[in-house]
Amino acid sequence: MLQDQDIKGFTLLELLVVVVLISIITAIGIPNFSSWKKDREVRVASEKIASVLSGVNSQTKRGSYPYVQMFINSNVTIVGATGSYQGTIIMGRGMTKTNLSTNLNSGKFPNCDMTLNPGSGSWENPTFNHELKNIYLNFTGSNGICFSADETYYAVKGNLAGNKNINLDQGTTDSYIIVCSSHDAQTAGKCDTSKPGLKKPAYLIEWSRFGNIRKYKWSGSDWTR
């Protein structure tokens, strides 16, 4: 039985066209994927920060703790199981009624202490704990935001307390956290707060002493909701 001899393969020109097309698609796709991946990392980190802020405040409203803190160790080297990397640690923790009473009875007004000292008068172990890889904020070091059920002991500690006022759609505020990629942090190892300097992707979480939280995204020229 004779086989069909009219079998043709790809010509060199056709192969070259395919290679060129693949190269073009790759050149377009890789930067877009990289940009999408970075935006997703920053967005997820901002959601976690907002969630911890909301979570600790809710604990005071539910009566779980009379006094709570969101602790932030920002823009630091984190040592993980697979090595070290740049990032930010956030955790939420509460103080029991007994420990709060111990402080008050000894004349110590709750001051949003950022240390975790085992024993009487200290914070309980973290109820929330996140390590945010490749994430920087607009401030560095150890910082704390504390809430109580009746807002009596609300306080902000650390470099976060030195936030400058910025304008958002709800007015002027200094109660905000800017979240960006550590790869884009240009000013002293932190997210830039100036409009010309801040790069995308970046997100902002605004809060109030009453637990209200608003989230914004950096458009490249302004903050939008």
Residue 2 lies in a domain: no
Residue 6 lies in a domain: no
Q: Which residue would you say has higher pLDDT here, 88 or 195? A: 88
Q: What is the β-pairing status of strands 223-224 and 83-95?
A: unpaired
Residue 181 lies in a domain: yes
* pTM listed for this prediction: 0.84
* Residue-wise DSSP of 138-161: SS-EEEEEEEETTSTT-EEESGGG
Residue 52 lies in a domain: yes
Residue 219 lies in a domain: yes
Total number of domains in the chain: 1
Q: Is the pLDDT of residue 210 over 70?
A: yes
- pLDDT category at 35 given cuts 50, 70, 90 is confident
Residue 162 lies in a domain: yes
d(CA 146, CA 110): 9
What pLDDT is stored for residue 30 in this prediction? 58
Instruction: Give the bridge partners for 31, in sequence order.
Output: none
Residue 3 lies in a domain: no
- 178 burial (CB, 10 Å; 0-12 / 13-18 / 19+) is buried
* Local structure of 42: helix, strand or coil: helix
Q: Is the pLDDT of residue 40 over 60?
A: yes
Q: Is the pLDDT of residue 4 over 60?
A: no
Which residues form the domain of 174? 15-224
Residue 1 lies in a domain: no
Report how far Cα 32 is from the mean position of its chain's Cα atoms. 22
Q: Is the pLDDT of residue 133 over 60?
A: yes
